[in-house]
Amino acid sequence: MDDATLRALFSESPIGLHVLDTQLRLVRFNAAARHIRAFPVEDLLGRTVSEVLREYDRDQADEVEAMVREVLETGRPRRDVLLTLRSLRPPHAEVVVLASWFRLQDLDGRPLGVAAAILDVTDRNQAQARLALLDRVGSRIGTALDLFGTAQELADGTVPDFADFAAVDLFDPVLRGEAPEPGPLLGTIPLRRAGWCSHGSPVTAGWPVAGEVSGFPSGTPYRESLTDLRPRLVARLVPDAEWLDRDPVRGRLLRRDLVHSMIVVPMCARGVVLGLACFYRSRCPDPYVDEDTALAAQLVARTALSLDNIRLYNRERSAARLLQHSLRPPEVPDHTAVETAHSYLPSGSGGDWFDVIPLSGARVALIAGDTEGQGLHAAAAMGELRAAIGALADLDVPPDELLERLHDLVTRLDDEVTSTPHDASDYRVVGTTCLYVVYDPVIRRCTMSSAGHPPPVIVRPDGTAELADVPQGAPLGQGIATHRTTEHELPEGSILLLCNTALVQNRDPQQAMQELDRIRAALAPASRCLQEACDQVLRALPADGHQHDPVLLMARTRAMGPDQVASWTLRGAPEAAAEARRLTADRLSAWGLDDLEYATELVVSELVTNAVRYSEGPIGLRLIRDRTLICEVSDTSSTAPQLRHAEEDDESGRGLFITSQLTQRWGTRPARRGKTIWAELSLSA
């Protein structure tokens, strides 16, 4: 049985068995030992352990021999010692073995030598190394939304463990967020170097650096890989390879740098060809094998997916920017009530906006808002909300009522979006914040309400600055719509600053005071150009640096003097219409607007007559000489008038129709008690 076991160990065992004598010289080996790569045991017979290991450039040769000698002397075996050996003889192959040593002794315990069990684990070790490299490089790729940075991460991650040189080239359209058209024309599109790394130096002379354009001629592994979208393995690259002459520039570099093996992998994701990744070996003597090609393909596939995500993000971000730009007011309209200026820093692609909307009675509305999220969905939500606010502003409702109506609209829109079968998580208008401010230059009063938006800053003519005391209602669509208004008397020349959340956060009082100090400093002197001051304030305030684009709207208030406004209170009696016509004629004569006397008297007479007929109590009449002549009639009735077309035999019902024909525009403005009907006549009539 012992003889049979011994024969099996030396002829059938898959584990290499080496027998050393007491001088630690190799005296015998089994059949499996012959098959350990780069380990010619026949040539090593009679040599000691240290002499054998020195054949493999093993720095620890003496240390390993001392370990084996300890086994011989003590009888204590050593198991599973991992050794990496590289032959000094061509082709300088590397082998990784798992070695165990145990003492051989006779029946009396006298040592006869040492037996070494050697297991070739090169394939297993290389597979583990490939998995580790895949995990390590994969965790580094795509950490930032940067095409060049991601390409460089692939190159840096594969050198020197996988390649001595690594290059990543991307098609020019990809860098613009586009996708190259598939087909034969692909070879004519230039590729631009996006990532490069070499062992020992970040740049090797002659090779394209980041940003440089290069082409890949036909009949080369590069063009072949781009044509059929399959990796190319050149296991043994010889200097006289025919294809090197077809690519003379790159061929000269490959010969100069002694590149002996290379892999070319096309970068594809979601059916889009993004570019090409190339890996070269020159210092490492081992040629690439099929397993290396599979690893390179996996690394490139991960990188390509990240690159395509970045490409799509950049494309959507650019589209969102264009949409935002088209949806924002191209120019803030000039207005009698305020002088305005605005600044906007497009650092992201959020849905931040502002608006200046003229209202009746020479008033003006100032709006600032932030939508949730980024990209096209945020920009589209911004456009919808701007349109809704514009429509609600035409109704001339108070700020708190406008925000409550907007809250209901946002809630309904969100219900419609969430009820759709597709995933609409990116398109949400719930959580939008909005600040709505109305300034009246006649009474120099500012009324404001907020739906979760930062309050405006008020800077008075004497330079004092404060955050306006505005109750913070819930953001639109969240919770219960409980928005309240506050009123502030503003001297002429006061400045209102409306910011978004990128500039004003929920900071502590000390930070708020620091921001007010910055604003005061930026606005000094008070006479400086408002746009210049606005730009300076935007630069002075710290931005949050995250989702929102810093937006700032500034308005310097103006006031209308007594020579521009006339108002009277009339009794609610039939003779009120005649008195209104007389007062109107006298005022127009004083203003030098005699040409408007007939039309204005007719409009005023019709509006006052309606007020006498459909309301009780006193009637207010006000004329405002602005860029148009504004006529306002106020009464205590909350019933809104309806424009109708009277029949030929009707004796009444033509008042509002006559008003609409004689004026540029007219409308109704509700009040806490009653309403005001207003009409505007052109001064050039």
State both tokens at 681.
């006549």
Contact between 243 and 265 (Cβ < 8 Å): no
- Confidence (pLDDT) at 414: 79
DSSP of 542-574: PP--SSPPPEEEEEEE----GGGEEEEEE-SST
| Total-model pTM | 0.65
- Confidence (pLDDT) at 547: 53
Residues of the chain with pLDDT under 50: 1, 185, 423-424, 545-546, 649-651
Considering the four listed CATH numbers 3.30.465.10, 3.90.1150.10, 3.30.450.40, 3.40.50.300, the one that applies to the domain covering 126-316 is: 3.30.450.40
- Confidence (pLDDT) at 650: 45
Considering the four listed CATH numbers 3.60.40.10, 1.20.1640.10, 3.30.9.10, 2.40.50.100, the one that applies to the domain covering 329-557 is: 3.60.40.10
Determine if residue 425 is left, alpha or beta; phi over 0 gives left, psi from -120 to 50 gives alpha, anything else beta.
Answer: alpha
- Confidence (pLDDT) at 502: 53
Contact between 570 and 616 (Cβ < 8 Å): no
Question: What fold characterizes domain 2-120?
Answer: Beta-Lactamase (3.30.450)
- Residue 514 phi, psi dihedral angles, 5° rounding: -65, -40
- Confidence (pLDDT) at 32: 64
- Confidence (pLDDT) at 651: 45
pLDDT by residue (tens digit) across 523-536? 777 667 888 888 88
State both tokens at 244.
């090197």
Contacts of 15 (CB under 8 A, 6+ apart): 32, 117, 118, 119
- Confidence (pLDDT) at 173: 86
Neighbours of 225 (CB within 10 A): 21
Question: Angle between the 509-523 and 530-540 helix axes, to the nearest 10 degrees?
Answer: 150
Q: Residues 195, 201, 203, 204: is their CA dihedral positive or negative?
A: negative
- For the chain, give every domain's residue range: 2-120, 126-316, 329-557, 562-682
Q: Is 109 helix (H, G, I), strand (E, B) or coil?
A: coil
Question: What fold characterizes domain 562-682?
Answer: Heat Shock Protein 90 (3.30.565)
- Confidence (pLDDT) at 642: 67
- Residues 520, 585: Cα–Cα separation, whole Å: 47
- Confidence (pLDDT) at 220: 92
- Confidence (pLDDT) at 179: 79
- Confidence (pLDDT) at 230: 92
DSSP of 208-272: --TT-EE---TTSHHHHHHHHT--EEESS--TT-HHHHHSHHHHHHHHHTT--EEEEEEEEETTE
126-316 and 329-557 share one fold:
no
Report the Cα 580 to chain-centroid distance in Å.
61
Q: Is 305 helix (H, G, I), strand (E, B) or coil?
A: helix
Amino acid identity for residue 28 in this structure = R
